[in-house]
Structure 1
Amino acid sequence: MSDGATQSYIDKWLAVQPQQRIALGFVDERVRDEHVALAAFEQELIASAYGIREPQVAAAKLQWWAEELSGAPASGGRHPLTKQLFASERARRIPASVWIAPVLAAMAQLEQGTSSDFSAQVTAASGLHGALATLETAWWFGLDAPAEAATRVATLSHLVFALSRLELDAERERLPLPMSRLARHSLSRGQLKDDTPARRDAIRAQLTELAAGLKAALALNQPLSTFRGLEGRTALATARGAAKAAEPFAELHRRQSRTGPATALRAWRAARRAGRLG
């Protein structure tokens, strides 16, 4: 079991992805704590990259993480999550460059603006989320395991979540809808906070492309951690369901916090795939 020093970080991860509470029951209890610690660590980096509105403050936080990870193989780390991770032999089998890559990618994207089109948006987001997926795949399955599917699932799942923050992020430099989507539906930045037919159509179009990408990524016969597999399946179901709804933005929010029998089935499938390909 995780101690109090790490539990608050785990709680933050589960607050963002509540469906993962169900996935915990499908992870081998012998390695569950270290897998959960990595997931919570990923969430800390994502929060630093997206959750801090002042770029200078975010850069300082990420610089701290870069120094922490650089010294962790020798010192064991200072942060509770780093300490737990580097107490495992898994951490020492992964090159330092793989540990630091997500931090460097997060720093590189701090000043990114809104992408020109959907393809550019996926490419931009895949820097950070691809680096996290590569680290996670190496942690779960070894350094030789392919990480393309995990990269695509991580990136597209993030973009589904980012779309749910459309109203909150309407004032930020990086919008969750690409410029070409805004132009096609004659939407200005100022109109993104209002529920209009044009905004609904733009959200549906974005969700449809995200769902197609997630379906293709999950179809690849490559390993995904139990958590990543569930995240991808949840994001796919969310994108599909919201795209068909009369009020896609409201449905997007409803589905992201929903758990139940369907979540348990997705978690079981994700765990089965992780075990089969691991």
Structure 2
Amino acid sequence: MAASTDALASFEEKWSLAHPELPLALRFVHPQARPVVSALACLSHEVGLAAFRVVEVEVATGKLRWWAEELALLPSGQARHPLTQVLAGSSAMKQLPADTWTALIAGAFAQRDAAPARGLPDLIAGHARFHEPLGRIESAIYPALRRDIAAQAGALSRIVHESARLPECLTSERLPLPLDLLARHGLSRSDLGVASAQRDAALREHFAALWEAMKLLDSRGLSPLAAARLAADLQRCRRAARAEKPLESSAGNLDRLPLSALWACWRAARRMQPSV
């Protein structure tokens, strides 16, 4: 158990650097539920890394196949990875249908093969293929969680982060902006790699649209972690939509949280009672 605890702490440290809402949310989680909440968050980051960030196709495919095998072992208690071992200790996690974990990996693979989205609704729907299974898994911890809202919030957050890392996405041949937005601003895919007034205008419109979409979400259906992330993403998008240099604004705010995230996290923790 001590080894698993130490390993979990190392994953928390790793992902807290990229996602400051994680350590914030863990402060408000009941001690009994904390390891499971943390392990699931870190697992989603690890799988998401292979789905969205690893450039080499063979490496990403190998990682996702390994995770598929590992998650298949979770219900039987034979998991090998520190994160899945922690999850296997939760009766709520072990009782999830096997196809829930399968759907998570299928959604991750879908991100590797995703075609450019025609519009923002298509872009959200594409990312939701990964976040809908996560919502189903998370609802085993938080019975009051609204899966549909969690999936939408997760998909929108993913788009915010992907857009803020535009150069990196382009290098890995991903397009985090919809095609109709590019058409309205007379931009090609290659144009996005070059700073210009047209690109800045397109990004401001993009972040404004994301801000409007997130404002429609009912945060009362979210876990503390997701509520904190939504509050942070709302401010990131609002600032980027008004910035002279929206890409620099969005990228520069990924590692910091506004005070509104603390307030949102606290309120969500009061509403959501974990069951592990």
TM-score under structure 1 length normalisation: 0.90
Q: Which residue identity lines up with residue 20 of structure 2 in the other structure? A: P
Deviations 1:23-57 (A, max 9, x none): 22211122112111110011111001012112232
Q: Among the aligned pairs, what percent are the same residue?
A: 32
Aligned residues between the structures: 273
**1:107 alignment counterpart:** 109
Does the 8 A contact of 2:77 with 2:88 survive in 1?
no
1:147 and 2:177 matched: no
Alpha-carbon distance between aligned partners in 1 of 2:212 and 2:7, rounded to the nearest angstrom = 40
Tell me the SS of whatever aligns to 2:168. coil
Q: What are the residue-to-residue correspondences of 1:1-278 with 2, within 5 Å? A: 3-141=5-143, 146-218=146-218, 223-259=221-257, 261-275=259-273
Alpha-carbon distance between aligned partners in 1 of 2:261 and 2:125, rounded to the nearest angstrom = 29
Does the 8 A contact of 2:227 with 2:261 survive in 1?
no
Alpha-carbon distance between aligned partners in 2 of 1:75 and 1:19, rounded to the nearest angstrom = 30
Alpha-carbon distance between aligned partners in 2 of 1:122 and 1:134, rounded to the nearest angstrom = 17
Does the 8 A contact of 1:113 with 1:173 survive in 2?
no
Does the 8 A contact of 2:74 with 2:87 survive in 1?
no
Q: Which residue identity lines up with residue 226 of structure 1 in the other structure? A: P
Runs (4+) of structure 1 moved beyond 4 Å? none
Q: After the TM superposition, which of the residue ranges 76-85 and 145-154 deviates more from structure 2?
A: 145-154
Tell me the SS of whatever aligns to 1:26. coil
Q: Which residue identity lines up with residue 246 of structure 1 in the other structure? A: E
Q: After the TM superposition, which of the residue ranges 162-171 and 13-22 deviates more from structure 2?
A: 13-22
Q: Gaps (5+ residues) in structure 2?
A: none
Alpha-carbon distance between aligned partners in 1 of 2:111 and 2:195, rounded to the nearest angstrom = 29
Does the 8 A contact of 2:87 with 2:94 survive in 1?
no
Shift in alpha-carbon separation, 1:260–1:149, aligned structure 2, 3 A: closer
Q: Gaps (5+ residues) in structure 1?
A: none
Q: Which residue identity lines up with residue 122 of structure 1 in the other structure? A: I
When the two chains are superposed, the root-mean-square deviation of aligned CA atoms in Å is 2.1
Tell me the SS of whatever aligns to 2:31. coil
> How far does residue 260 in structure 1 lie from its aligned partner after superposition?
5.3
Alpha-carbon distance between aligned partners in 1 of 2:61 and 2:159, rounded to the nearest angstrom = 22
> How far does residue 254 in structure 1 lie from its aligned partner after superposition?
2.5
Q: After the TM superposition, which of the residue ranges 21-30 and 146-155 deviates more from structure 2?
A: 21-30
Tell me the SS of whatever aligns to 1:158. helix
Q: After the TM superposition, which of the residue ranges 160-169 and 238-247 deviates more from structure 2?
A: 238-247
Deviations 1:55-75 (A, max 9, x none): 232122111111111122113
Q: Which residue identity lines up with residue 80 of structure 1 in the other structure? A: P
Shift in alpha-carbon separation, 1:275–1:71, aligned structure 2, 3 A: closer
> How far does residue 275 in structure 1 lie from its aligned partner after superposition?
4.3
